[in-house]
Amino acid sequence: MSTVVTTWTGAKARALRTALRLTIDEMAERLGSSPRGIAKWDSQPDLHPGVASQRDLDVLLGAATEAEQARFALLLKDLGDTGSAKATDQGVVVGGEGWVPSDQQGEDLAGIGARRPSASVLADPIQITVQAAAASFEFLAWAEDQLPGAVVDYVMSELQRLATAYVHQPALPIFVDLVQLRDVTFRLLKNRPHPRQSRTLFFTAGSVCTLLAHASQNLGNSSAARTQAATAWACAEQADHAGLRAWVRGTQALIAEWTDSYAQAVSFSQDGQRYASGEQLVRLAAIEGRSLARTGDAEGAIDAVARATQARDAVDGPDELGELGGILTFPEAKQLYYAGSTLSLVGRHADAEKAARDAISLYVAGSPADRSYGDEALARVDVAAARLADDDLDGVRESLAPVLALPANQRIRQIGDGLSRVQQVLARPRYVRAAPGMELAESIAGFSATDAFPHLR
């Protein structure tokens, strides 16, 4: 069962904290907030948290277990929120949309639970077909004594769809779909299917949890990201899948890197290389290089970049993860973006700019479905950093223009972190005293002050 909340209040936030069995301090740590703020929600049930907090609560709820979500739904009923907490075929929708009971159910239909789509769902043909297919899929899985091949094929096709969509669509809608797929896969595993199907389902569950880890980190919740990655590792172990183990280690390294745990990031990336081959080896060496650069080990970082290049030459095709496409691949454009970031960190700005520009060119020339808005934006930030090293403020402005124009739902946390480093350089006296430097700093501050980046306020 999944739960969706369209508008959080202090009372609903407290219900979530109770369902998760968290103290005020623990809730604050999960959300990256202050205990005082959580206590304020507790004491003011009608309070509407800000947009950033609404999103953080969505992420925390999405990461909850099925039992925790069930407790949350019961607590909402205790609040008397019967008008906004609706049980649906897809779970519980709180103050939201989806499948709602028909307004005119005859007694002959009461036991069947006849339903009609809400007006908002009817306005979206794609959404109504997705929900109808999901309901039919649930029945198919229930109706068979053993899982038919069609069920496993459906789960794998959904994983492929979401992995492909992840690189070019906003993270939050993808997150919601991933949670639904994770819940479906977990339910299938709990029914103890045939051992061969169990391996496939554990592989799928691990891949989905890996994507949830990426999404949680992009949405700014590192604690949730680590939990999802740990679950993905457990699934990789159950599936006994070397490729998934390698990918999860790389994801854990990225989470460690983005939370400033650079030595741990190096350790994860190096451990992952025990299981890796082909494109996976390229990815892990590239992550290791950038993490080493952040520790100050320039020589080790350059060596890792070189090993990534050598590993690329040995790639002879995608592995099982790579065949899913999208975020579960590591194309040359992404490798060049990583190399540019690493070279920038060790002070080789001219080489960094070349690598970053090559990455941007590949993204621009490639298929729109493969164009990662996040990686392309970060490559542009690296170009801006190189231009700034040469005091070329016009070049910085030109490089950052597409980044600063990103819509709010694409302003993932990593882009904000990259821009904050440029902002720190622009805070130096020689730029603060110059009008062009002040204008640039103000532009970045305006971008970072949106609700997409509460951690930069």
Q: Does 79 map to a domain?
A: yes
Q: Does 402 map to a domain?
A: yes
Q: What count of residues does the chain have?
A: 457
Q: Does 380 map to a domain?
A: yes
Q: Provide mean pLDDT across the span 397-405.
A: 81
Indicate the pLDDT class of residue 104, thresholds 50, 70 and 90. Answer: very low
In this model, does residue 452 exceed pLDDT 70? no
Instruction: State pTM to two decimals.
Output: 0.61
CA distance 221 to 295: 23
In this model, does residue 241 exceed pLDDT 90? yes
Q: Does 409 map to a domain?
A: yes
Residue-wise pLDDT tens digits, 299-322: 999 999 999 999 999 888 888 888
Final residue belonging to a domain, choices 72, 100, 128: 100
The predicted pLDDT at position 398 comes to 83
Compute the Cα dihedral for 330, 336, 339, 341 and give only its sign. Answer: negative
The predicted pLDDT at position 147 comes to 58
Final residue belonging to a domain, choices 65, 100, 135: 100
Q: Does 122 map to a domain?
A: no
Q: Print the domain residue range for 21.
A: 2-100
The predicted pLDDT at position 450 comes to 41
Q: Provide mean pLDDT across the span 243-254.
A: 95
Q: Does 404 map to a domain?
A: yes
Q: Does 155 map to a domain?
A: no
Here the tokens at position 149 are 């091949």
Give 243's Cβ-side CA count (13 Å radius). 17
The predicted pLDDT at position 67 comes to 81
Q: Which residues contact 292 (CB under 8 A, 6 or more apart)?
A: 266, 300, 301, 304, 342
Residue-wise pLDDT tens digits, 142-160: 554 455 667 778 888 888 8
Please report, for the domain that includes residue 81, its CATH number.
1.10.260.40
CA distance 168 to 166: 6
Say what percent of the chain tops pLDDT 70: 80
The runs of H, that is alpha helices, within 111-166 are 119-122, 125-143, 149-166
Q: Does 75 map to a domain?
A: yes
Final residue belonging to a domain, choices 84, 100, 116: 100
